[in-house]
Structure 1
């Protein structure tokens, strides 16, 4: 991952955390982690949110996408409730197994 993309992801996560008091953590997953990304690849980011219910998920998804558009249109946010972030969900299990928890100092070393 190039340093500009790295910075955009860091800045995006910092902004999301500042605007959402329920933010718990974030994971980068998908083609960027697997190093199979291409020119048209999106940047998949799982955003773990405390007390996120299904009725709020769509509105939050829209808000997260609007924030993402300020940084990089390739960022694809995936909000997941903290209570649902476990191995019982196959999608989440894949994120936990293959993803990278996003912390600014972790991304700076990629």
Structure 2
């Protein structure tokens, strides 16, 4: 049984593929996009059950995207980022994140967090 669609917002193709693989194994359908603007367009189309979001996107800051996503969806929002200072985590949570995962991460960490917030 599908747990719904996860919108993966990650500009690095290898990382996006890894996140997608792990979440598919956990029962999610996956729609991956590379930019913040694509994420904002896609969110209304897929009505995601979960969103993973990188903070370092090529077209805009991920925190701005998080704030905009919060205006249109209540889906759990998991930040997955190399910007892993305590300040980054606090800023992410203030922008509406449900959880924060620092890169590099281990596959079991993503599974655990996704299962906890969904």
What TM-score range do you get, normalising by the shorter chain?
Answer: 0.3 to 0.5
TM norm structure 1: 0.32
Identify which of structures 1 and 2 has the higher relative contact order when contacts are C-alpha pairs closer than 8 Å and 6+ apart.
1
TM norm structure 2: 0.31
Q: Which has the larger radius of gyration?
A: 1
